[in-house]
Amino acid sequence: MAERTLRGARLGGQSFEDERGIEFAARQQVAYSCPQGHQFEITMSTEADIPANWECPRCGAVSLNVDGIEPEEKTEKPARTHWDMLLERRSLDELEVILTERLELLRGGEIGPAHLHRPTKAKKKAKA
């Protein structure tokens, strides 16, 4: 077993197998054109779905397929706000009732910031 060990093999990517008897998948070259004027080709399988755009290896810009494949338009949903999510759970009438209840509690001093709960001089005199 010791005589079959590969000594001095580097980590990474050197393969000691040869390519005899291996049948490669059918390939095609797909050309792309960058807005900066760069032209490049990507090797892909003939069975692969060809993307309409590809990142340019030189500048990173979005490059379009030379064969005229158009990118599909993605429909963007409008951003959901907190108000939208609240309206999914409650009606406007329910929200009005809740608001009225909370305002009464706030004005009565039962809820809210601590400085609203401290008795004022007028309240102290009335208690005494």
Q: Which of 13-22, 42-51, 67-76 has the least mean pLDDT?
A: 13-22
6 pLDDT more than 70: no
* Higher-confidence position of 85 and 123: 85
List C-alpha distances in Å: 91 to 28, 84, 88, 101, 124: 58, 11, 8, 16, 42
Taking only the tens place, the pLDDT of each residue in 72-95 is 888 888 899 999 999 999 999 999
User: Which DSSP string corresponds to 12-40?
Assistant: SS------TT--PPPEEEEEEE-TTS-EE
Per-residue confidence (pLDDT) for residue 72, from 0 to 100? 83
Residue with the larger pLDDT of the pair 107 and 94: 94
27-47 confidence digits (pLDDT tens): 999 999 999 999 999 999 999
